[in-house]
Amino acid sequence: MSEHRTGQPDAPAPAAEGGAPDPVADARERLAHAQHGLLAALVSGAPAPEGFDEERLAVQTRALTAKRADVIAKVAPELPRILGEKEYRAAFVAYARGRPMTGGYRRDALDFAEELLRGTHPLDANVRRHVHRWWRERSGPAPLPRGRLRRALRALRGR
Per the CB < 8 A criterion, the answer to whether 72 and 92 are in contact is yes
As a whole number of Å, the CA-based R_g of the chain is 22
Q: 70 vs 109, 134, 158, CA distance in Å?
A: 11, 18, 29
130, containing H or E segment: helix 125-139
- Name the residue ranges covered by the structural domains of the chain: 1-52, 55-157
pTM for the model stands at 0.69
Mean pLDDT of 43-51: 82
Q: In whole angstroms, give the CA distance from residue 110 to residue 156.
A: 27
Q: What is the pLDDT of residue 159?
A: 58
Mean pLDDT of 146-158: 71
pLDDT over 70 (residue 8): no
The length of the chain is 159
pLDDT over 90 (residue 154): no
pLDDT over 80 (residue 48): yes
Q: What is the pLDDT of residue 83?
A: 96
Closest CA to 111 of 128, 96, 133: 96
Q: In whole angstroms, give the CA distance from residue 95 to residue 63.
A: 15
Handedness of CA 60, 63, 69, 72 (dihedral sign): negative
Q: What is the pLDDT of residue 2?
A: 46
Q: In whole angstroms, give the CA distance from residue 1 to residue 137.
A: 44
12-34 pLDDT tens trace = 555 556 667 788 988 898 888 88
Q: In whole angstroms, give the CA distance from residue 96 to residue 73.
A: 14
104-144 pLDDT tens trace = 999 999 999 999 999 888 899 999 999 999 999 998 776 55
61-119 pLDDT tens trace = 899 999 999 999 999 999 999 999 999 999 999 999 878 888 899 999 999 999 999 98
Handedness of CA 136, 141, 146, 148 (dihedral sign): positive
